[in-house]
Amino acid sequence: MIKVQVVLSPALLHLFDSKNKNVVVIDILRATSTICTAIAHGALSVKPVNNTDDALILKGSGYLSAAERDGHKLEGFDMGNSPFECMNGAVLGKKIALTTTNGTKCITAATIAGAANVLSGSFLNITALANFLKADSRDVILFCAGWRDRVNLEDSLFAGALVNRLVSKDELDCDSALMVMDLYHRAKSNLGLYLEQSSHYKRLSRLHHQEDMEYCLQSDVIDIVVGLKKGEMVNMA
Ligand code: MLT
């Protein structure tokens, strides 16, 4: 039986032992949803970088540069952080250097924490991801990116959905995992409606990103597992 723990915010990661575990980084709106979408749509890799300068340096090496801050695409970059920018052949055969407000920093943090695998978590590929985690049998850390170290609703909901697929309630020994499991059961009949009051949902709505959110809340439109290899997110197959 795999042991599953949930980290609700990057500020709490240091309280958990991530060494040699499968760490799923969760940034549903939108970094890890966008990373999964990019790889599913033919991108060779997505390299998470912590700042805009590194993304521009990699642009000089042939990467597509992608940068988002506070939900906005930054001027001077090829892309922002919308999954729709990865469709219609836009990233086919390309490498992407991506920096976002929260998600890409969490990928770096999980690597530094000694994870065996750093995986990109999204509703989009939840079944493929759950099957990978169950087959691999390492203990699991579900790492919510939140918003600037604050807990957010959408990442917590996804963590609950994934916990629900991995273990039964009586197998859990982690209160945050129990919390998010219950949260998911309350919201699962209509995630979009439940999230309408959440801070990032409102933020992205103000920026007219409703279709991004509708897309990112779909389950199982992607059947691959995406994880970090040599510092770049790739198809784990
Ligand atoms: C993040 O990395 O915080 C999010 O993906 C931000 C966003 O793209 O809206």
Best residue among 25, 27, 106, 195 to mutate for probing ligand 1's pocket (most ligand atoms within 8 Å of CB) is 27
Best residue among 9, 25, 28, 30 to mutate for probing ligand 1's pocket (most ligand atoms within 8 Å of CB) is 30
Q: What percent of the chain has pLDDT over 90?
A: 99
Question: Within 137-220, where are the H helices?
Answer: 153-166, 175-187, 191-195, 199-206, 210-216
pLDDT reported for residue 137: 86
CA of 98 to the centre of ligand 1 (A): 11
pLDDT tens across 9-55, in order?
A: 999 999 999 999 999 999 999 999 999 999 999 999 999 999 999 99
pLDDT reported for residue 105: 98
Query: What dotted CATH number matches 4-33+101-229?
Result: 3.90.1560.10
CA–CA dist 143, 5 (Å, integer) = 9
Is 168 exposed, middle or buried (CB count within 10 Å of its CB: 0-12, 13-18, 19+)?
exposed
- The predicted model gives 179-205 an average pLDDT of 95
Ligand 1: atom nearest CA of 147 is 3
pLDDT tens across 119-132, in order?
A: 999 999 999 999 99
pLDDT reported for residue 9: 98
The pTM of this model reads 0.98
42 CB neighbour count, 10 Å cutoff: 15
Residue 41 pairs in a beta bridge with none
pLDDT reported for residue 141: 98
Q: Please check whether residue 91 is in contact with residue 43, taking contact to mean a CB–CB distance below 8 angstroms.
A: yes
3-state SS, residue 121? strand
Q: What is the mean pLDDT of the chain?
A: 97
pLDDT reported for residue 213: 96
pLDDT tens across 44-103, in order?
A: 999 999 999 999 999 999 999 999 999 999 999 999 999 999 999 999 999 999 999 999
Q: What percent of the chain has pLDDT over 70?
A: 100
CA of 102 to the centre of ligand 1 (A): 6
pLDDT reported for residue 233: 98
Q: Is a pLDDT exceeding 90 seen at residue 1?
A: no
CA-nearest residue for atom 9, ligand 1, is 71
Q: Assess whether the C-beta atom of 81 lies below 6 angstroms from ligand 1.
A: yes
Best residue among 29, 82, 106 to mutate for probing ligand 1's pocket (most ligand atoms within 8 Å of CB) is 29
CA–CA dist 153, 168 (Å, integer) = 22
CA of 157 to the centre of ligand 1 (A): 16
